[in-house]
Amino acid sequence: MTTAPLDKTNALETMPMGKSKLSHTAVFWIAFSVVIAVLIAAPLVLPEFWRRFLTEVLIWGLLAMSSDLLIGYTGMISFGHSAFFGLGMYGAAGALLVASPPNLWLAVLFGLAGAAGAALFVAFFSIRLRDIYFAITTLIFSQIFYVIIFTWTAVTGGENGLIFTRPHLSIPFLYDARFTTTTMHWFVLAAVTASYLILRRVTQSPFGMVLQSIRENEARTRAIGYAVERYKMVAVMLSGLFAGLAGVLYAIQNQFAAPDFVYFLTSGDTVIYNVMGGIGTLVGPIVGAGFFQLARELLSRLFGDQFPYLIPLGIVFIVMIIFLPQGLLGFARRWLNR
Amino acid sequence: MSEQWKHEKWAQDIWYRGKVTRRSIVGWGGGAIGAMMLVPAPWRAAFGAAKPYKIGSEQPLSGAGAAGGKTSIIGLQMAADRINASGGINGRPIELVIVDDETSPAVARQKVTKMVQDDAIDVHVGGFLSNICLACMPFWQDAKIVNMITVCLDTTLTTSACNRYTFRLHDYAPAQAVAFAPTLTKMGKKWHIVFADYSWGQSTRDAYVAEIKKNGGEVVGTTGIPLGTADMTPFLSKISGDFDGLFGIFFGKDGVTIANQAYDLGLTKKYIWAGDGSISESSNLVAVGNKLDGFTAINRYIPVFDGVLDTPYLHRFFEEGKARLAKVDPSHPLPDKYVQSNYEALNATKVGMEKAKFDSRDDSAKLIEALEGLEVKESDDFPQGDKTLRKDDHQAFLREFIFTIGNGTYHLQQVVDKDKTFVPPACKFQAA
């Protein structure tokens, strides 16, 4: 008689309902479907402002999620994501200004190409570095891109940035219509959902396992024969690509690109979203972005527009680091598993 | 019992005597409508019967632009208070909805969305930083809301980036260059321009290079200094050679820095020293003392009463502005061009709304029509002087003042009439 190793997932999935708990996978997909259904329905019931607000949360969430691949899974804290986000934004802006009529897919393509180019450049020079040295190098690169964009007025519009017309939502030969806030939301939701599923697959693949191994012990990963630099290079590029996609979506939603987004503060916000939501969870950073944006909005609504919301938010951030080091999602997970 | 009152005589008289008939409804309803029409507009405003117009204003009240934003609000509030005290617009009071853009385009976009969707503003009168004005321009167009810019200076706002919904009642660099270049070329033929190296500085530099050349002068060199540079000495120490005048293009604290450091390096003694009036705004003069003495500049507003500026309108504007500024700023600054342009922009919007019989933002098309080509005369509403709001690009033309600084104060040298500041329009509105 031969014995096979027990596949826990399959074993749980095949157990009759009612006798045991649902499998982890089933719970995940049910929760995923519910959340997506709620997000699809949201613009149909939300007022205009909150519709746009939710769409923007998803975009910032995508940026934060992209950096989670580096921070949470590879153990590399990046302060260069503002550059990837900004280059995605400017790439899309360039395509929308050049092409007549503006084309959505060309904007996506140019944006991703811009972000990929920047990511390749940054990765080439920084992957041999670790910890604080990697963080500082990425920060410096993002500032270099910022200065170039800020001063190269003829091409980038300098401090003023670029403004352009929003393209139509088009599927060649099938569909062509102006974006509304609702269709914009659905388009962003589709992009963020697809990005999440791809990143989830990546992190669960053997490639993702190697990244986690690098995070845990880089020297040992190298010692057992993995080309660590190559893995890090791909991780930075993948992360940069999704950050660039967030930039493209922001540009299409708001019809402008500005150097402020390339400034390192955007990277700082991204790290904060990760810490607040939960590092190494992919969904956590989206929750973090939502929490931060919502808290800011509610504080300014409650206490007036000039209320210094960063002070209470800073206190909340410190409290969370001390008492919820795993972030909101980590806390929720622990609470649910009690 | 709680329902006992219904049986009282007075209650029976009110509620149960007689029937409610169609005739009585038509009669009483018609009477009520007629009475409302007969009540004069100021009464309706005074007794709160009229719904106020909501005027949105996005300003930087925190972050790097906060000082300017807070000054701008003074101008808006001065105008709003005067409008409400005189019966409002079309008999309706106005209510300012001011939001803080935090000196960030991303925040500004969120806040203006809130202003439009939640606060339901009718018109927008505001905008301080050009990058934020530009970032919000597509939004105003999409929302079909008239956007009267109050401070943003960038040339492209009414040229390459213009749109039908946006107006600017104050000057821009090309008009100032046209007004100032003849004087500059009389002062000296060869110029070196030192400028804040970002979009506004660069576009202003280009305007002066073109106009100095057109007037027979020459710009022999230019030096760009990054925005916010605290130590400009490495840049300034390289400026030397055979030219007559040094022309500076800076604003805010960079204006203070260039004034101090150009003086300390002896550049202002060696060369004729001139530039954009933003360097010598009243708040900067306090900070630089006498180091700007001899500086010649151009501006649309200076807080002095020399010659043609000695008008009752300017006196009243100055006194009220000064008193209000003293309440918010302990350094007691004098009113500047930011107070003036916000004040006049809201007054011009009022004129347009009255002309268009504007009711709500659904009437934006009528308001645009009323504002296009608007001519306003020097008055309490427009103390700076006459203005023409050109139809082709929604850019205003107004008189400019050329002045020198002496003993830490302004001395008016020349007034350039608005007709001598015209620049051909360079705007193509998108088809509606």
Supply the range of the domain harboring residue A105. Answer: 38-165+177-264
- For A289-328, the pLDDT digits (tens) are 999 999 988 888 888 777 788 888 888 888 888 888 888 8
Render pLDDT for A213-231 as a digit per residue (tens, 0 to 9): 898 888 899 899 888 889 9
Residue A312 inside a domain? The answer is no
Whether chain A has a CB inside 8 Å of the CB on B128: the answer is no
Q: Would the pLDDT of B214 be above 60? A: yes
Domain annotation covers residue A76: yes
Residue of B nearest to A256 (CA): B135
Q: Are B170 and B180 in contact (CB under 8 A)?
A: no
Q: Does A167 touch chain B (CB under 8 A)?
A: no
Phi, psi of B414 (to 5 degrees): -155, 145
Which residues, at least 6 apart from A266, have a Cβ–Cβ distance to it below 8 Å? A63, A81, A82, A85, A86, A260
Beta-carbon separation of A151 and B226 below 8 A: yes
User: What phi and psi values does residue A73 have, to the nearest 5 degrees?
Assistant: -105, -25
The complex's ipTM works out to 0.72
Closest residue in A to B110 (Cα–Cα): A53
For residue B219, the surrounding DSSP H or E stretch is: strand B218-225
- Start-end of H helices in B16-144: 22-38, 41-46, 66-85, 105-117, 130-143
pLDDT given at position A194: 95
Q: How confident is the model at residue B50 (pLDDT cuts 50, 70, 90)?
A: confident
Q: Point out which residues pair with B245 in neighbouring strands.
A: B191, B272
Both structure tokens of B128: 């301080």
* Measured distance CA(B261)–CA(B291) in Å, rounded: 9
A299 and B CB contact within 8 Å = no
**Largest separation between any pair of C-alpha atoms in chain A:** 76
pLDDT at B221: 93
The answer to whether residues B128 and A184 touch, using CB atoms and an 8 Å cutoff, is no
- Helix-strand-coil split of chain A, %, nearest 5: 75, 5, 20
Q: Looking at residue A4, what is its pLDDT?
A: 40
Q: Quick check: is A286 in a domain? A: no
Task: Report the mean per-residue pLDDT for chain A.
Answer: 86
Q: Does domain B174-299+402-412 have CATH number 3.40.50.2300?
A: yes
Residue A304 lies in a domain: no
Residues of chain B with CATH 3.40.50.2300: 53-171+337-398, 174-299+402-412
Q: Please report, rounded to a whole number, the percentage of residues in chain B having pLDDT higher than 90.
A: 61
Q: Give the rounded distance of the alpha carbon of B376 from its chain centre.
A: 15
- Cβ contact B198–A150 (<8 Å): yes
Contacts of A59 in chain B (CB under 8 A): none
Closest by Cα among B343, B277, B403, B387 to B78: B343
> Residue A100 domain-assigned?
yes
Q: Is the Cβ–Cβ distance between B281 and B307 less than 8 Å?
A: no
- Highest mean pLDDT among B68-77, B208-217, B223-232 belongs to B208-217
Mean pLDDT for A158-185 is 86
Cβ count within 10 A of residue B259? 26
Contact criterion met (CB < 8 Å) for A165 and B135: no
Find the CB nearest B131 among A52, A161, A164. Answer: A161
Predicted confidence (pLDDT) per residue in A87-107, tens digit:
999 999 999 998 888 889 999
Helix (H, G, I), strand (E, B) or coil at A93: helix
Question: Per-residue pLDDT tens for B394-429?
Answer: 999 999 999 999 988 899 999 999 999 999 999 988
Q: Identify whether A242 is part of a domain.
A: yes
Give the pLDDT band of residue B105 (cuts 50, 70, 90): confident
User: What pLDDT was estimated at residue B161?
Assistant: 87
**Which of B223-227, B318-322, B364-368 has the least mean pLDDT?**
B223-227
Select from B149, B79, B140 the least CA-distant residue to B361.
B140
Tokens 């590029």 belong to which residue? A237
Contact of B243 with B271, CB cutoff 8 Å: yes
- pLDDT category at A113 given cuts 50, 70, 90 is very high
Distance from A174 to chain B by nearest Cα, in Å?
Answer: 26
Determine the topology of domain B53-171+337-398 in CATH: Rossmann fold (3.40.50)
- Residue A18, domain member (yes or no): no
Task: Compute the Cα dihedral for B81, B85, B89, B91 and give only its sign.
Answer: positive
Q: Say yes or no: A131 contacts chain B, CB-CB below 8 A.
A: no
- Say if A287 falls within a structural domain: no
Q: Is B200 on the interface with A (CB under 8 A)?
A: yes
pTM here is 0.78
Q: Tell me how many degrees the CA angle A135-A136-A140 measures, rounded to the nearest 5.
A: 120
pLDDT: is A12 or A279 the higher one?
Answer: A279
CA distances for A41 relative to A62, A193, B408, angstroms: 20, 15, 64
Q: A49–B62: do the CB atoms touch at under 8 Å?
A: no
Tokens representing A230 are 């190559």
Number of domains composing chain A? 1
Q: What is the mean pLDDT of residues B88-106?
A: 90
What integer pLDDT is reported at residue B36 of this predicted model?
54
* Residue B378 · residue B261 · CB < 8 Å: no
